[in-house]
Amino acid sequence: MTNDIDSSLEPPAPKPPTVVHDHWIGLRSLTPSRIALGRAGHAVPTRELLRADAAHARARAAVHAPLEVASLRAELEAVPGLAPPLEVRSAASTRDHYLLRPDLGRRLSAESRQQLRDVSSAPAACDLLLVIGDGLSTSAVQRHAVAVVTAITAARPANWSLGPPVIATEARVALGDEIGKLLRGQLVAMLIGERPGLSCQESLGIYLTWQPQPGRTDAERNCLSNIHPGGLSPSDAASRLWWLATEARRLATTGVALKDRSSSFALANASTERITPPTAQ
């Protein structure tokens, strides 16, 4: 009896790994960006390609999905201290029309313009008007707008008045200028879904404009962006917005003339609180 084994029956020698990982793959834990993807031969690994395709599909869905206005309105009506919301739409008649004609998303439809003219004859002018626009990510608005509005309302200084919130569909940032002018807001804050990327498809932005009126440019606004679970929180966004609004009122301007130093201001206050000795009892 022999111990010889037919070599054809032996398992093949292990092959080198199909995917070659980058030596800096550990940095992936520090960012949602697509880095250190590795390679399979001369190509991107199939797993990473499929992940990118899935993220692209989510981004497209965020752009094309319609805003669920009824549910958003119901949630806003439940926010304490907030007036019943108004609903308007831009001059873009459909979502495709909105994407193909950005200029139409910057002005109201004739019906909405007349609606706000009728409304503006009743309420008094307000210090800050909140407009919630669907923008390029309806999912961002659906998921985060109410939390941000709630935080803004809760943090409202005693000497500031809020106008009725306005839900705007097929909206671009500049649509807030016409809405703010018609409703006599000294400042308008447009909460709007930001253009989705492959790392985040539900980021909300806030654009603050002093004395809104048609024709304002982006240089005349201040922007707070990346409001989502992995970025700026609703409470931090509200604090920074009120800091900017207070400075805008003091300087009578927004935009390039108003620098956002809210983080430095908060840090200075926190440092002062830490070093202040306790009062003797």
Q: What is the pLDDT of residues 81-96, one digit of tens each?
A: 999 999 999 999 999 9
Instruction: Considering only residues 69 and 266, tell me which one the structure prediction assigns the higher pLDDT.
Output: 69
Report how far residue 178's alpha carbon sits from residue 39's, in angstroms, rounded to the nearest whole number: 51
Q: What is the pLDDT of residues 53-72, one digit of tens each?
A: 888 898 898 899 999 999 99
Task: Give residue 200's pLDDT.
Answer: 86
Report how far residue 4's alpha carbon sits from residue 14's, in angstroms, rounded to the nearest whole number: 22
Whole-prediction pTM: 0.83
pLDDT at 23 over 70: yes
Taking each helix axis from N to C end, the angle separating 138-154 and 69-77, rounded to the nearest 10 degrees, works out to 10
Instruction: Considering only residues 181 and 45, tell me which one the structure prediction assigns the higher pLDDT.
Output: 181
Q: In which band, very low, low, confident or very high, does the pLDDT at 5 lie, cut at 50, 70 and 90?
A: low
Task: Give residue 116's pLDDT.
Answer: 93
Q: What is the pLDDT of residues 217-254, one digit of tens each?
A: 999 999 999 999 989 999 999 999 999 999 999 999 99
Q: In which band, very low, low, confident or very high, does the pLDDT at 39 lie, cut at 50, 70 and 90?
A: confident
Q: In which band, very low, low, confident or very high, does the pLDDT at 270 lie, cut at 50, 70 and 90?
A: very low
Rounded to the nearest 10°, the torsion over CA 244, 249, 252, 257 is -20
**Section 181-191 average pLDDT:** 96
pLDDT at 110 over 80: yes
| Residue closest to 201 by CA, chosen among 223, 228, 225, 224 | 228
pLDDT at 214 over 60: yes
Transcribe 154-207 into DSSP letters. Answer: HT--TT--B---EEEES--TTHHHHHHHHTTEEEEEEEEEPPP-SS-S--EEEE
Q: Show the domains of the chain with their CATH numbers.
A: 64-269 (3.40.50.11240)
Transcribe 30-47 into DSSP letters. Answer: G-SS-----BBTTB--HH
Mean pLDDT of the chain: 87
Q: In which band, very low, low, confident or very high, does the pLDDT at 122 lie, cut at 50, 70 and 90?
A: low
pLDDT at 7 over 80: no
Q: What is the pLDDT of residues 93-105, one digit of tens each?
A: 999 999 999 999 9
